[in-house]
Structure 1
């Protein structure tokens, strides 16, 4: 059994892959789940009972969480000698070539998401928008080149920043429903502005990709916990996909054997 883990700043997602199954399509899993970042101690119970023979993890939430993940995995494995493979960005993995000036500087989650998106939607230029604690908007070419991208504060972070740093502005619930772009009260105006900024960044990236590939149809892949709040405010077509990082890790695991 292959265990893949995507540890982000807000949630930890995981999936178990039956390596003996005939269908090894990335995203086809035996079981999957997620917990809040603060509930990492619950993972060992979720994984207990499965014969895990390989583990691949992506962690962008720091050394403390890395230690918690190691403890959870080792608690389940016991004395079985299974190496933990920590996914990091490289010059090329999973069918995607990394064009970052320093390929290892690219966030592991962004590279894994790009790999996952290219695996699901090959041979077409992509904009991969992941809307989480931060919003990342990345460009991938049809032949699998990670071109680069944008990073901006996520939807919740934008609203919180306004509330904390502007004395007269309140903290607002992002679930506020909006029927028009120009709000008639301050709470709704904050939400409208934050949503417009998020949607605008994605639409701007799509326009840039369309200019770069005038004879091809560019696809927008939308992922992340805040994607469903942002999606209704997009004026472009998009495809909503969950667990892009896990899909990317699955793709890499099927193409690359463990190094130790």
Structure 2
């Protein structure tokens, strides 16, 4: 039994994996009392044999979570730092560790499920885009602010753009709240579709488009290109990686 941890920019997601299934899972935001929330969530839970973690946060928060794991289960976290190659996926970055481990694991998850040419879009605090060939070669990608961060940045950098309510996503708006929300969400959708169009040639045709991240469901209906959701991609990729690195696993 393994406990898998995904330390993202906005929240920590976790899953207890037994065999091929989740025995338990949950999430806690960094704006909450993370230590108390995890102690409460894990009280009475079955004790894992190993703990694996993937992190895009600072070392201080990693140490905080490591202390909770030690207190709850008397185990250390086995952190995955982005490799040059693992589980059939080959990293395009000349300095492999510079690629976010969340992006790498999302590719691992999709490649394990469907080894087809694809574009992966992570829609969260950041909007990340990656192109992956059928044989697992990463062709690189893009990073931009996510739709919510775009809105926060716009409102924080302007003096006269003010909103008094959350905006609706429309094709054309006649008020500022809807104009801000619509412009940022449509900008994200347009960037994804442009990246898919430009990477179709290198990927050998129309690639499968896969969306992950906390805002993926909101963005999905804005896209004209067919797409599917890939929930918990980092945790599922971490599960694939942890299986490959168990004592009885074959070498990759």
When normalised by structure 2's length, the TM-score is 0.91
Contact 1:94 1:248 in 2 (8 A): no
- Is residue 34 of structure 2 the alignment partner of residue 40 of structure 1? yes
Partner of 1:162: 154
Aligned residues: 244
Tell me how far apart the structure 2 counterparts of residues 171 and 85 of structure 1 sit (CA, whole Å).
Answer: 44
The corresponding residue for 2:84 is 91
SS in 2 for 1:34: strand
Q: Which runs of 5+ in 2 are unaligned?
A: 248-252
**Residue 112 (structure 1) aligned to one of 105, 114, 118:** 105
Correspondences of 1:203-242 after superposition (within 5 Å): 203-214=193-204, 216-242=205-231
Per-residue CA deviation, residues 147-201 of structure 1 (Å, 9 max, x unaligned), is 2111001111100111111100014655x3334x221112211111101210011
**Aligned Cα RMSD in Å?**
1.6
Instruction: Report the Cα offset of residue 209 of structure 1.
Output: 2.3
Please state whether the residue corresponding to 1:30 is helix, strand or coil.
strand
Q: How far apart are the structure 1 equivalents of 2:219 and 2:162? A: 21
**Is the CA contact 1:172–1:191 (under 8 Å) kept in the aligned structure 2?**
no
Separation in 2, partners of 1:90, 1:237? 31
CA distance in 2, matches of 1:110, 1:194: 22
SS of 1:212's partner is: coil
The TM-score with structure 1 as length reference comes to: 0.89
**C-alpha separation between the residues in 2 aligned to 1:59 and 1:172?**
35
Query: Aligned equivalents of 2:99 and 2:91: distance in 1?
Result: 8
Among residues 236, 240, 243, which one is paired with 1:251 in the alignment?
240
Instruction: Deviation per CA, 1:50-83: give whole Å up to 9, x if none.
Output: 12111110111111210111011111113xxx44
Q: List gaps (5 residues or longer) in structure 1.
A: none
Match of 2:12 in 1: 12
2:114 to 121, 137, 152: 121
Residue 3 of structure 1 corresponds to which residue in structure 2?
3
Q: How far did 1:98 drift?
A: 0.8
Shift of 1:126: 0.9
Q: 1:185 to 1:171 in 2, by over 3 A?
A: closer
Greater RCO, CA 8 A, separation 6+: 1
* C-alpha contact (below 8 Å) 2:132/2:203 kept by paired residues: no
Cα 1:228–1:173 shift into 2, 3 Å: farther
Residues 113 and 173 (structure 1 numbering): CA distance in 2 closer, same or farther, change over 3 Å? farther
* Runs of 4+ with deviation above 6 angstroms: none
- Encode CA deviations 1:84-106: one digit per residue, 9 max, x unaligned: 21111011112211111111111
